[in-house]
Every structure is written in structure tokens, then in C-alpha cells.
Structure 1
């Protein structure tokens, strides 16, 4: 893990800080160059949803877990992309992904084990609970019960089906479609340097929720791409800590990295030497296209995956990440209270409840388009990115063509 107190701030992040300082000094908000509209069919049309599933969730690297969730010699089931996947980390330390399906008769190899979010299971091999076919954590078939009764079947052709998987910046990425390997660092297009400087690889999980709500997934993404709503929607919760719609934004390919100014930035501003100082001035917020957010609160991080099980549903997976030096019983009460505030109050009762209400309103036909102003330019850019990905003109950096 990079030490944020001794490693120089990446130049692109330092430029964001400088731009925030200039906005503060001049009293000028950064705005987009144009207004625009977003068709409401994007949130209701099953055909458009199918295109997103095929082009985005089927072809792009998707964040499946934080690195700390997958220790050596463990396996973590992951099904948020609509297919059964298992992540493994063998003794060599490499994160891998496979279809979570036995090659004998198709049984699930690693089950989540209840309604709570799945956790990694310590193991040295994957053993099918149906007939005990056994696989190494690198996917190779190790053992078949009564192997002599399977004459004519080449065991080398019965390894687990591997999926493209890579790790960078403290995040494990996977593609749900078989194909060539890709580089997660190249895919992030420079954001991995920001994540390392801020210490993301060294964070650890405190709490995780995994729930489905009645709203299209893009409605929750939209909310996190503009600060225009904070003054109104969050006026009783977090707005007292934030300036009104002062946000600066960096484009890293289709990804977005923003600093949302806090009121403290207008009281005293000096170049932040580390993550903690930066998060007193602003809330860094990264969109890892297409569906993952990192929101840096003053002393912890929200890692949020917004998945799409149906055209009118979002699967909200929120992982609270905390510094490794602030763990243990002495800290549990603090983190529990903090998590309940951000998840149950700000996210569930305000952001998600708004998305659900908008989805209901779409059925009325009152709007055929949403009208976005220059303070909402990040939302327009996100939707154009989706169009370009569906149309094939935007492809993920880092290689890894899929085989279908």
C-alpha cells in the first residue's frame, strides 16, 4: 500500500485540487459547456436494457470486490452480473475468476450461505457438494471420485471455465464473458494512481449491504454525478457540511473523478499533504465506468456497485471500507453508528428513495425527456458514454476482447 503521507500527490489529482482552490477564490462554479436532455426511455425500455446488459455488463470489466475481501487461499461467490461467478486467490496471491459451476453435472461450487452479503470462504481447493469433484484454486481439476469410471473423458478438458479477471488500485475486476486477459490498471486510465495515493488497497471491510430496489440502475448513478441536488435533497443531513454545487471534475476515458467542495474549503485552504487533509476540504468521488462509485468520506470510504437485475431494478451493493489502523472492538461502535447514518439515512431514505420515486413517476408519462443544466454535465457525459459503448465506438482500455 502506498503511504499517502509520504507519496507525492499524482499530478492529475493536484490539478483538481488547484481548480477547486480557484473556484473557491473566484466564487465561480465549474459548469459544462451545454445543456441537454436524456430520454426517459433509457430507464424503462426493455430493449435498451438488453443492449446495456450485452454491451456494458457483458463486455466491460466490472468491480466485483475490494482486494481485502479475498485473502490468500479463499473463494468468494459473486452473482451480481446475472451469472454465477466465483473469485479465488490461490497461494500465489493472484485473483482469478471462474464460472461457479462444476464441470461434472453443473452444481454450484461455492454458495453464499444465507441472506447476508457473501463473504470469502477459506479453502485450499473447491469441492463440489454433489459428487466431490475437486478443483485447485487456479481452476485445474484435481480429483474425481471413482475417476476410473470416466474412461474416455480427458480431465484436462474439464477444468473450471475461467473468466477474465485482474486487480488494480485495491479493486478486483471481472468480465462475465469469456475472452482474453485485460489490464485493470490500463482500464482505469490513471485513476489507479489516485486510488493508491489515497490508500485504497490497504483499506479493510467493516460492513456490507446487498439489496434490490425498484429503480433503474442509472437513476442511482445519475444522483452521484452532480452536486446540484445536495442543497435540497440532503439539506438536513449532509448539506450543512458542503458548499453549494462547487464541484470540479476530471475525465479519465469514460471514468470520472470529482472533488465536491466542503464548507471547510472556504474557511481555510492549504495544499493537502494526505488523504485526510484532502477529505476535510472536499469529498473525492470516482465513477469507475459503468457502475461503480468510490465516495471518500472524512475517515472512511463507500464502495458502491449499482447492478441491473431488471430494467426497473437496481441491485445496490454498498461496502464500507475503513483504515486498517482503526479496526477492532474500540472502533466498532463508531463505525456502526457511522454506517447506519450514511446507509440508512442519506443513501436509503434520500438518494435511493428519490430514485424509486422517479421510477414510479416515469410510468405516468409526464416526461418523455429529463432536462439537464450545465451543473449536471457529468450525467450527460455518462449517458453519452453508454450510447458510445452500445454503439461500439467506446471500448474499455486495457485490452481483453470477449469471445461472446
Structure 2
């Protein structure tokens, strides 16, 4: 069974939950059909082959850092990471140190986290701030970046404070997602224009309802794109995850939808086998669960820790200091309303279990593969038709940096 490669989303319905439930039911129906057909999966029209240098070339790596991580909107977090006036987010992984604030009117601002006096790092911890006070000489700034006070003002006679505010960085908040663009400037971010027909699919997730539970940084000794590929297919579950994920999820079966440069993919749990041949009226209620890719580097997973208890996983992958290193910021979220301590503890346990599998299995194999590719000039890789999500990701990255896959 072949997937439709391009899917145009309909406008968001008045009820995000109703829309999400309906789409979740459609996805489940497709997955059960694959299982009924003997374990088929959505597929691309053909395989995709290209040189291993796509993952190892320093020139390509430099272009990705410049175009994708300097000039493209990036997810800096969820609204739940900065819910109240005075809250801040520190965002350093894209290159320049960036500070995001929420002011008393609940508006977001973003700046280079650099004092315009002598370049000191202005904020070093994500604690609530009434004012931003430089730890070096106590220059003081409002949450909107304006310079409010200079100790020893007489030493700076003739300096116009209005010209020494913090350097602005584009920022936007949309449906629970916080975006920044790492190149300083006054430009705005057109989130819906950036997301295209993926926007309604993300809006229905109600990410603004998420409250952070646990986060950390996962390191990989592999190129960021190779690491990113591991999130988009279940073909490897039976072998690589034979003791961890394979007992719970069916390998090499997926329902895939592409939306401009993003995608949504769902993998069936083993419980769906019981629905094969059973009238749909007898199926249990649908619980939406799917992986979403936001170009260029973010994976969102919406699912349940146990039936009836939803949570969010967010993976944001960033290139390290060299072409063969990756830093992944991984965070999990529980509902802001209705999640007691026991519920949050289950979500924290899900973080620990996921991080363990990612580090000891996915990132271990990615590091071994990248090392082999980096020492094998002329090596080539091939994406199978069943690895459909990976095709579009690598093609979109290549197009964005104007360096074709070859």
C-alpha cells in the first residue's frame, strides 16, 4: 500500500480534541488495514540513494549551520517553559546565546544574551526576573530589553541609553510553540507561513496545555542529520530494539503523511493486532499517538504513558562543534491541568526509559555508522521505499542549503 506523498490539511475545526480524535481514528484504521494485509506499510514511490558525504562533508555542515540554524525559525520550547511574566528561556544550542523573556503584558521578547556594555553574559539561570541585571557591572534592563539604569552614570556622559538596549532576535509564540531565529534583527516570524499546510495539524495538538516535567541534553557522536533519521522509521525496531520497543510496537509498519517540509508518522502497537477482522464498532476508543517532524530539527511525539494519560515528548537536534557531533535537547511534558504528582512521576519515568533506549541503542548505532561513513570515501547509503519519512527530510534539507543530494 503506497502513501500519498503530499497531503493538504484542512482548516482547524472548532474543537481540537474532536479533530484530533477523528484523525487518530483515521490513522488507526490505516494501520489496522496494513496489519490485515499481512504487515504492509506506507511507501515512497522509489528508493533514494546518495553519498555518505551528505553526513560527513564539513562544507555541507557549515552551510546547514548557516542556513538552517541561523536563518530558519527554530523551536525554542513550549509556552509551558515560559508561562509567567518574568520567566525566561536560555537558548544556546543554535549558536549565539539567546535570552527569551515574558514581560508583564505576557508578551515574549528575545535578545542576544549579551550585555551591550562589555559583552558579559546577562542571564545564567532560568529563574524569574523582574529586571535583567548584568552580573559584571549591574547595568539593568527591562524585560522588553530597554536599558533602565547604568551605575556610575557620570562615567558614560553623552551615551544615549535608548541606543544601548539589548540586541533583538526574532521570536514568535504560536499555539503553544515558541520559535526564535538565531540571526539578530527586528524581523517578525510568520509561523503559519513557515509551517504551511502543517499548521492545522500542529494546532490541533494543543501544545499550550503542556507543563514541563523533565529535560536534559543527549549527546551523540554522529552527524545531526544521521541522528535525526532514526526518529522517522520503525524498520529498525525488530533488530535494534528487540528487547525494548519490539515487544510493544510492530516493526516496519507505519501510516505516514507529509505536510510541506514536515511529516506525521504513526507506528502500531501490538494491541492493534486484536482489531484485525473485528467490526470497527467494537473497537475501543481512539487515543491519538503520532510522531511529528517540524523542519529543520524538531521531533514532537504525542501519546500516552498509560491509557488515558497523555504526554508530550520534544526532541530538538542541533549540530555540535564538529560535523560528527550532535546535541539533542529532550524534554517531556504533562497536562498543565489534571496531572497530579503520581501522573508527573509516570511522565518522568517515561523520560528516563526513552533516554536510556535512545542513548544505548539509537545513538550508539548512529555513532558507529557515522564513524564508518567518515572513514569510507565513496560510500553510499540507500533509503528504502518503506523509510518514506526520511526521503522528504533529507531532500528538504538539501534544497534549503542549495546543495543537492548526490
TM-score greater than 0.5 by the shorter chain: yes
Match of 2:318 among 307, 311, 319: 307
Tell whether the 8 Å contact from 1:250 to 1:256 is kept in structure 2 after alignment. yes
The secondary structure found in structure 2 opposite 1:8 is helix
Q: 1:327-375 CA deviation, whole Å, 9 max, x = no partner?
A: 443345433433221111x211111111111122223317611122101
CA contact (8 A) 1:20 1:248 kept: yes
Alignment pair present for 1:183 and 2:194: no
Can you list the C-alpha shifts for 1:58-107, whole angstroms capped at 9, x where unaligned? 11111111211112212221100111100111122122211001111111
The C-alpha deviation readout for 1:282-326, integer Å capped at 9, x for no partner, is x40011111110122323221001100221100011101122345
Q: Which moved more, 1:19-28 or 1:207-216?
A: 19-28
Correspondent of 2:81 among 69, 89, 108: 69
Residue aligned with 1:138, SS: coil
Query: What does residue 286 of structure 2 align with?
Result: 277
Shift of 1:261: 1.9
Higher deviation after alignment, 186-195 or 200-209: 186-195
- Aligned partner of residue 224 in structure 1, secondary structure: coil
In 2: Cα distance, 1:361 partner to 1:26 partner: 37
Is the alpha carbon distance of 1:189 and 1:392 closer, same or farther for their aligned partners in structure 2, counting shifts above 3 Å?
A: farther
Q: Tell me if structure 2 keeps the 8 A contact 1:7–1:197.
A: no
Question: In structure 1, what is the equivalent of residue 70 of structure 2?
Answer: 58
Indicate conservation of the 8 Å contact 1:10/1:197, yes or no. no
Change (3 A) 1:236 1:22: same
Question: Partner residue of 1:162?
Answer: 168
* Alignment match, 2:48: 36
TM-score, with structure 2 as normaliser: 0.86
CA separation in 1, counterparts of 2:379 and 2:154?
A: 64
Q: Which moved more, 1:321-330 or 1:310-319?
A: 321-330
Question: Displacement of 1:37 after TM fit?
Answer: 1.2
Structure 1 unaligned spans of 5+: 113-119, 394-404
Measured against aligned partners, the alpha-carbon deviations of 1:113-171 in whole angstroms (never above 9, x if no partner) come to: xxxxxxx3101111111111111111111111122332222221111111111112322
The answer to whether 1:125 aligns with 2:131 is yes
CA contact (8 A) 1:86 1:110 kept: yes
CA RMSD of aligned residues (A): 2.7
Equivalent residue, structure 2, for 1:115? none
Which is worse superposed, 322-331 or 12-21?
A: 12-21
Q: Secondary structure at the match of 1:246?
A: coil
* 8 Å Cα contact 1:3/1:197 also seen in 2: no
> In 2, Cα distance between the equivalents of 1:235 and 1:212?
23
Structure 1 residues 206-255: Cα deviation after superposition (integer angstroms, max 9, x where no partner): 11011332111111111111121112111111112222322122222111
SS at match of 1:250: strand
Per the TM alignment, residue 175 of structure 1 is displaced from its structure 2 partner at its CA by 0.5
Partner deviation per Cα, 1:179-221 (whole Å, 9 max, x = no partner): 4211223322244433343332101111101133211111111
Report the counterpart of residue 235 of structure 2 in structure 1. 228
Q: Look up the match of 1:199.
A: 206
Distance in 1, matches of 2:282 and 2:193, equals 27
Give the Cα–Cα distance (whole angstroms) in 2 for the partners of residues 271 and 311 of structure 1.
52
Structure 2 vs 1, CA of residues 13 and 164 (structure 1 numbering), >3 Å: closer, same or farther? farther
Q: Secondary structure at the match of 2:20?
A: coil
1:364 maps to what in 2?
A: 375
Once residues 223 and 109 of structure 1 are traced to their aligned partners in structure 2, the CA distance between those partners, rounded to angstroms, is 37
Question: Which one of the candidate residues 213, 225, 232 is aligned to 2:220?
Answer: 213
Cα offset, 1:6, TM superposition:
4.9
TM-score under structure 1 length normalisation: 0.86
With 140-149 and 300-309 compared, the bigger mean Cα shift is at 140-149
- In the alignment, is residue 151 of structure 1 matched against residue 162 of structure 2? no
Task: Look up the match of 2:295.
Answer: 289
Name the residue aligned to 2:365.
354
Displacement of 1:5 = 8.0
Residue 393 of structure 2 is aligned to residue 382 of structure 1: yes
Distance, in Å, in 2 between the alignment partners of 1:295 and 1:273 is 23
Aligned pairs, how many? 380
Which is further off, 144-153 or 204-213? 144-153
**Aligned with residue 137 of structure 1, among 143, 158, 182:** 143
The answer to whether 1:8 aligns with 2:14 is no
Alpha-carbon contact 2:174-2:191 (below 8 Å) kept: yes
